[in-house]
Chains A and B, each alone.
Chain A
Amino acid sequence: MTSYLEVRSLSKRFGDFTALDDISLDIVEGEFVCFLGPSGCGKTTLLRAIAGLDPQTSGTIRQKGRDVSALPPAQRDFGIVFQSYALFPNLKVTDNVGYGLVSRRQSRAEITRRVDELLTLVGLPDAGPKYPAQLSGGQQQRVALARALATSPSLLLLDEPLSALDARVRLRLRHEIKALQRRLGVTTIMVTHDQEEALTMADRIVVMNQGAIEQVGSPQEIYRRPTTAFVADFVGSMNFLAGRLAAPDRVEIGGLGFTCPAQDGLAAGTSVRLCIRPEDVRVRDLPADAVNRVVVEVAELDFVGAFCRATLRLGSGGDVALVADFSSNLIRDLGVTPGSRLDVALPPDRLRVFAA
């Protein structure tokens, strides 16, 4: 696959501060990519550099084979939706959506048709004669989307488009935006700090931290096989158990040994952290010879709604804490209560090991 957008060695510095540090990235045509990271990680800076709004200090950007690195935003091909939507408050929805069409010398009838088409596309066929202030946040967001798509850009940039909305609307719009993007096949980059948003919407996620890319991969890859401790920690919940690498595929923690995927890069004896997600701790149907089987004591049970989050104690002195998510069924069936003892297993294929 040839890449639609090629980012090479992109850096941006503000004085001594490095906002983007030697970023290289390829994006395929029609892909939905999320830039995910904590605030200040450089994800918005990268998006604005791609748009040309805040140009990089060095490095190149090629779009459809064309070097756009030094072009002002007006000469690049993209549509953008901001967190604030930046709708023109004094213009009706129709004029907002048609804003980019008017200067393209299209006839009035053509513009009207296109605007109607776009408003229908985003599910607001009747909003045309209203002013932005008369719309709800979710509706404003869709108008902003329609405006960004009006000129049929081949690249759509979304800068935290959902974070100003309340939770319910946000959930619905996630699906709508994703469906719309699939239908139009427009290459899309979305910046977000919300991992759930990234996991549900993206084809590929770019996890960023301190101006650098930590990992690029599909949502499943990012979640199942985080390649750095940062990604493991930032995306989803994760147990970090401090231990020592006894053999390439064995970690010792508090006197207990666990089998893990073979670690080639780490020397035996290295201090490591063994990682497992709370939902990957197995309890039911454990075969007698299950690998990594341990007896634990349930120290705490926190009711979280759909499931319970259990804090388990293991190791010789019970000094290692492990968090596990148990379904309500499981708790009822096995009669799990604080203080009870359980047999659990940590499946080796769900374990990740990082140097401490």
Chain B
Amino acid sequence: MSLAAPVLRIGLSRDDLLMRAGVTLLALVLLLILGLPLWALLSKGFEDSDGHFVGVANYVAYFSTPALFSSALNSFEVAAVSTAIVIPLAFLYAYALTRTVLPFKWLFQGISLIPIFAPSLLPGLSLVYLFGTQGFFKALIGGSIYGFKGIVIAQVFYCFPHAVLILTTALATADARLYEAAEVLGASRRRVFFTVTLPGAKYGLISAAMVVFTLVITDFGIAKVIGGNFNVLATDVYKQVIGQQNFSMGAVIGMVLLAPAALAFAIDRLVQRKQVALLTARAVPLVPKPKPGRDAFYTLFCVVVSLGILGILGTAVWGSLIKYWPYNLSLTWANYDFATFDANGWDSYYNSLRMAAGAAVAGTALMFVGAWLNEKTGGFGAVRGLVQLLTFLPMAVPGLVLGLGYIFFFNAPWNPLNFLYATMAILIVNTVAHFYTVGHLTATTALKQIDPEFESVSASLKVSVWRTFLRVTAPICLPTILDIAIYLFVNAMTTVSSVIFLYAPDTKLASVAALNIEEAGTTAAAAALCVVIVVTSASVKALHLVADRFLLGRLQAWRRR
């Protein structure tokens, strides 16, 4: 009889309706800044230069032109080799940070993060200084640094912090009781490593490998600076679009570039889903005990790696201060007078600051409110699912591909939004879209940690969800909100790939200007601009840490017991 009873349709409160409207709006915004540009790119690949549909002709042309197809193999090779080098290095480094007693652990931790604050072309420039045609250690390298070797070395530097971060998290979540149990059972250190440590970090390792692989295959700056005649997919897209104005072929290569990135992303997601089931809330955290021999080995290892990172950064700094490498090594600030090298002078730097600040503010607001809406709206599964899908899209889509999609979509004459093209606004929108996934996930994770009954309590007290959002949820998540803002700022400062297609002469960004200057042959000024970017983003991060400690400490007095 209960089967025959009519299914109840629950009424919606004003809050429910507004939240659903919000989620719908969010879905539309994400479609606009992610879905449609990618769709535009996809369809462009099936058109000729006049916009006529030609089916898969472009793809056939791509795969039957060895000069083009070989780049795909090159990309794959570079990514595979770089990953194979970065992962063991990062694993040992992360192991040292989490499982041994290191002096100055915070310092080593900090140094390992430095590359995050640099545009990817910085290690390329440093390698040119060190091993280029006029490099100091040219003889050491055996052959030219331009090409495969150079790209791999620079990529190792560039990807290192990302792998260290993931592996540190993976290794930090160990359960001390597993180790105690293994010890009590008399397992050898080797056996403990292979039966406890490695399986525990397995998912972290796979995840790190996928992230590094994707970073390498989609990076543009390094290959551009030090690739020489060694073509990879990312530089091919650039050449086709900027050099030959062959948009259709650019779109095809973009799609080819999308495939491995999307695959790596899919594997990573699959693995992370399993990881959740592995963690237990009752684990006892592992606190490493001193062990002189082991600690000495890992300290030495960390010192060597840190010196490598500092060496590459230092070379760029030094190179930027040198009059004329390698003939006149006297110091000068002349390379920082950017007006001499680029029509925009320092303006490109100010553009970067404005863009990064804009992306940080607008992006954080959109990501946090969006994550909250999607998390707290009841029912409405289809639209929320769409939002979920769209928020994951940027992680799988290389910046270069997204940037290309933006050209096709926002520059189309039929698009009422094409007034945005070549403005600062589109750079901000593009950057927010490009880095959407991490911000959204960070916000979602923070929101999931909050008591899910806050909204229920508010409803029972007849207080609107918005009020609870402003008075409770957002204040509680303030540290997370700052994290997202800083993440966006730093990435907006250093990104090259996505925005390279979208700037206008008066909105050129520092990272792009550095690339242009390097292209024109002035390595020192390009290095100088990179140094300015590193100093800026690292200072902002340092400021964030200070704020986190002091300012937030005061604002968040309620956290203290």
Contacts and interface: CB of A to CB of B under 8 A. Distances in A.
B390 to A, nearest CB: 27
Contact of A51 (B2, B8, B460, B556): B460
Interface residues of A, number: 45
Contacts of B7: 57-58
Interface stretch (B137-145, B471-479, B516-524): B471-479
Interface string B433-477: 000000000000000000101101111111110010001100110
A59 B475 CA distance: 40
Given A89-B558, A151-B462, 20 more contacts: A21-B2, A58-B6, A59-B2, A59-B5, A70-B8, A70-B9, A72-B13, A72-B15, A73-B459, A73-B460, A79-B460, A82-B457, A84-B451, A86-B451, A90-B556, A91-B472, A99-B457, A99-B458, A99-B463, A100-B463
B186 interface: no
22 contacts: A9-B2, A11-B2, A21-B2, A51-B460, A52-B10, A52-B459, A53-B456, A57-B8, A59-B5, A73-B460, A74-B459, A75-B11, A84-B451, A88-B471, A88-B472, A90-B556, A91-B558, A100-B462, A103-B463, A131-B560, A133-B561, A157-B460
A51 to B, nearest CB: 7
A53 B464 CA distance: 15
A148 to B, nearest CB: 7
Contacts, number: 117
B273 interface: no
A51 B460 CA distance: 8
Interface in B467-496: 467, 471-472, 475-476
B561 A58 contact: no
Interface residues of B, number: 36
A89 B456 contact: no
A69 interface: yes
A78 interface: yes
Interface in A1-48: 9, 11, 21-22
Given A58-B6, A72-B16, A90-B472, A153 B556 contact: no
B281 interface: no
B459 A99 contact: no
A338 B40 CA distance: 87
Interface of B: 1-2, 5-13, 15-16, 451, 453-454, 456-464, 467, 471-472, 475-476, 556-561
Contacts of B16: 72
Contact of B453 (A84, A89, A103): A84
Contact of B456 (A56, A86, A90): A86
A143 to B, nearest CB: 12
Contacts of A69: 8
A61 to B, nearest CB: 10
A132 B557 CA distance: 11
B461 A55 contact: no
A134 interface: yes
Interface in A297-341: none
Contacts of A72: 10-13, 15-16, 459
A58 to B, nearest CB: 4
A286 interface: no
A82 B16 CA distance: 22
A203 B476 CA distance: 40
Nearest to A155: B460
Nearest to A81: B457
Contacts of B458: 99
Interface string A155-175: 001000000000000000000
A83 to B, nearest CB: 9
Contacts of A73: 13, 456, 459-460
B470 to A, nearest CB: 11
A80 interface: yes
Contacts of A55: 8, 10
A338 to B, nearest CB: 39
Contacts of A103: 461-464, 467
B2 A58 contact: yes
A104 B463 CA distance: 9
A345 interface: no
User: Which of B8, B451, B475, B561 has the most CB atoms of chain A within a 10 A radius of its CB?
Assistant: B8
B462 A133 contact: no
Across the A-B interface, give the 4 residue pairs with the lowest CB-CB distance, nearest first: A100-B461, A58-B5, A86-B453, A73-B459
B1 to A, nearest CB: 7
A89 B462 CA distance: 19
B474 to A, nearest CB: 10
A150 interface: yes
B460 A148 contact: yes
A74 B457 CA distance: 10
B5 A11 contact: yes
Contacts of A88: 454, 471-472
A342 interface: no
B464 to A, nearest CB: 7
Contacts of B558: 89-92, 131-133
A82 B459 CA distance: 13
B453 A82 contact: yes
Nearest to A12: B8
A227 B561 CA distance: 49
Contact of B10 (A70, A74, A148): A70
Contacts of B457: 80, 82, 86, 99, 147
B113 to A, nearest CB: 30
A71 interface: yes
A89 B473 CA distance: 10
User: Which of A80, A90, A102, A103 has the most CB atoms of chain B within a 10 A radius of its CB?
Assistant: A90
B476 A89 contact: yes
Contacts of B467: 103
A75 B462 CA distance: 8
B456 A80 contact: yes
B377 to A, nearest CB: 13
Contacts of A84: 451, 453
Given A89-B558, A100-B462, A71 B451 contact: no
